[in-house]
Amino acid sequence: MSLKTVLRASGAAALCAIASAATAQDTTITIATVNNGDMIRMQGYTDLFTEQTGIAVEWVTLEENVLRQRVTTDITTNGGQFDIMTIGMYETPIWGANGWLVPLDGLSDEYDVDDLLPAMRAGLSHDGTLYAAPFYGESSMIMYRTDLMEAAGLEMPDAPTWQFIREAAAAMDDPENGVNGVCLRGKPGWGEGGAFITVTGNSFGARWFDEDWNAQFDQPEWAEALNFYVNLMNDYGPDGYENNGFNENLSLFQQGLCGMWIDATVAASFVTNPEESEVADSVGFALAPNSEGVERRSNWLWAWALAIPAGTQQADAALQFIEWATSREYIELVAENEGWANVPPGARTSLYETPEYQDVPFAQMTLDSILAADPTNPTVDPVPYVGIQFVAIPEFAGIATEVSQEFAAAYAGQQTVEEALERAQDITNEAMEAAGYR
């Protein structure tokens, strides 16, 4: 770590520290978070924050679904167990609207809130007020094997169509050597296979609801999207793909068993890391595909963000931590110690203007994917909701989990695509009626 970086990081924290030095001493804040690589890295640096501010930090790290249940229980009951919560783009606007989060309008000038990527800032706000600061952001994109693509005599365009993906999958599929043409998520769950099939639907012009909150699974766009996905995966995907989520596909890709993988941009640093990946030297990136003639692509938008629950007694100390952890100085601190490829991506515009980061192979494609995502216009036709791979209403998680289970049953051959869509239509309409939307 260079002296310059230490001074910069110290400077940012020191500014905050001076502001509330008298109260900060002996303060301890509790942060609930998930076990993702970037979060773990952040935990390693918190001693530095404590040294500079006198604020001690206790971490509660939980599995994503457990965390969601845990923090939801706490915030709805005003339990006050956590001073900072790691939440996503789905929860933030809903919780902000309910008054469960402290608005982040006290951020200092040095923090430079305008440097946050506009898509991230918009997704983490409600009525123009920011309720969570993005720690890292992601979209989705295609990761592909450049060597297999070359051997197949094909060239991946920067912005391919689903039809090209099928052609390339057919060319790279090599069952004798265990190589699957393409690996995609199929695992049930609104955030797993549910998210993937929702964005695939968007790229075929399908949508969850019309403007009157009527389910749209009976429309031809959904039939086209789901049939395309099922045929593609049955022909060129791995066996049992209905059980594969992010981690399963990551493992397959890293072992050289997938020609292409379309998933979160954050995976790029895993698949290009020679210590973890057998194919680190031969990975290329492209924008997530769309169906020919459809304007929208199948890339999503997500951020893991830090928010302050309204029940906390330590809002000032919590805000200090959020400023530190999501600052430019923190990014530089990580870059200095662990390399630019390992900094938390997708949160700040200035990161993508940094020359050193522009040399990282997946940086530009990550930014392009994030910029191509528009949560207010996720698909071709207008929708009454915000969100790309989700619908930002509280009922969505339950409905989408059930719908994704029906789809997974179709992937597994337990029912036809038509039956799955019919059931999805009924499930969604019934739930929306019960919730009073229709």
Partner 1 sequence: MARAVTTQRKAINTTIAWAIGLLIFFPILWTILTSFKTEGEAVANPPVFLFFDWTLENYAVVQERSNYMRFLWNSIIIAGGSTLLGILVAVPAAWSMAFVPSKRTKDILLWMLSTKMLPAVGVLYPIYLLCIELGVLDSRAALVVILMLINLPIIVWMLYTYFREIPGEILEAARMDGAGLKEELLYILTPMAVPGIASTLLLNFILAWNEAFWTLNLTAVDAAPLTAFIASYSSPEGLFFAKLSAASTMAIAPILILGWFSQKQLVRGLTFGAVK
Q: Toward partner 1, which CB reaches closer, 33 or 425?
A: 33
Instruction: Pick the binder of partner 1 from 2, 23, 73, 234 (CB under 8 A).
Output: 73
Least distance in angstroms from the C-beta of 397 to partner 1: 14
User: For residue 245, what are its two tokens?
Assistant: 């989520």
Region near partner 1 per CB under 8 A, out of 57-65, 100-108, 204-212, 291-299? 57-65
Is 251 near partner 1 (CB under 8 A)?
yes
Instruction: Pick the binder of partner 1 from 98, 247, 376, 416 (CB under 8 A).
Output: 247
Vertex 88: Cα angle to 85 and 94 (nearest 5): 90
Instruction: Pick the binder of partner 1 from 40, 151, 412, 434 (CB under 8 A).
Output: 40
Q: Are 164 and 157 in contact (CB under 8 A)?
A: yes
Is 35 near partner 1 (CB under 8 A)?
yes
Vertex 267: Cα angle to 318 and 178 (nearest 5): 150
Is 37 near partner 1 (CB under 8 A)?
yes
Q: Toward partner 1, which CB reaches closer, 80 or 103?
A: 80
Cα–Cα distances in Å, from 414 out to 231, 248, 406, 432?
15, 22, 9, 26
To the nearest 10 degrees (0 to 180), the angle between helices 328-338 and 3-19 is: 150
Instruction: Pick the binder of partner 1 from 27, 30, 198, 272 (CB under 8 A).
Output: 30
Q: Toward partner 1, which CB reaches closer, 28 or 231?
A: 28
d(CA 188, CA 375) in angstroms, rounded, equals: 23
Token pair 């391919």 is found at 160
Region near partner 1 per CB under 8 A, out of 35-43, 199-207, 322-330, 369-377? 35-43
Burial class (CB in 10 A: 0-12, 13-18, 19+), 333: buried
Least distance in angstroms from the C-beta of 76 to partner 1: 8
Least distance in angstroms from the C-beta of 69 to partner 1: 7
Instruction: Pick the binder of partner 1 from 5, 20, 50, 61 (CB under 8 A).
Output: 61
Is 173 near partner 1 (CB under 8 A)?
no
Least distance in angstroms from the C-beta of 407 to partner 1: 20
Is 82 near partner 1 (CB under 8 A)?
yes
| CB proximity list for 11: less than 8 A, separation 6 or greater | 329
d(CA 404, CA 400) in angstroms, rounded, equals: 6
Is 339 near partner 1 (CB under 8 A)?
no
Least distance in angstroms from the C-beta of 223 to partner 1: 30
Q: Are 286 and 259 in contact (CB under 8 A)?
A: no
Instruction: Pick the binder of partner 1 from 5, 15, 64, 115 (CB under 8 A).
Output: 64
Is 258 near partner 1 (CB under 8 A)?
no
Instruction: Pick the binder of partner 1 from 149, 179, 206, 250 (CB under 8 A).
Output: 250
Is 349 near partner 1 (CB under 8 A)?
no
Is 34 near partner 1 (CB under 8 A)?
yes
Vertex 196: Cα angle to 303 and 41 (nearest 5): 35
Least distance in angstroms from the C-beta of 414 to partner 1: 25
Give 60's strand partners.
32
Buried b (16+ CB within 10 A) or exposed e, 272-284: beeeebebeebbb
Region near partner 1 per CB under 8 A, out of 72-80, 99-107, 119-127, 370-378? 72-80
Q: Are 270 and 254 in contact (CB under 8 A)?
A: yes
Cα–Cα distances in Å, from 402 out to 3, 248, 376, 406?
53, 21, 24, 7
Instruction: Pick the binder of partner 1 from 180, 203, 254, 299 (CB under 8 A).
Output: 254
d(CA 86, CA 70) in angstroms, rounded, equals: 11
Question: Residue numbers of the site for partner 1 (CB under 8 A)?
Answer: 30, 32, 34-37, 40, 43, 58, 60-64, 66, 69-70, 73-74, 77-82, 178, 191, 245-247, 250-252, 254-255, 257, 264, 266-267, 270, 276
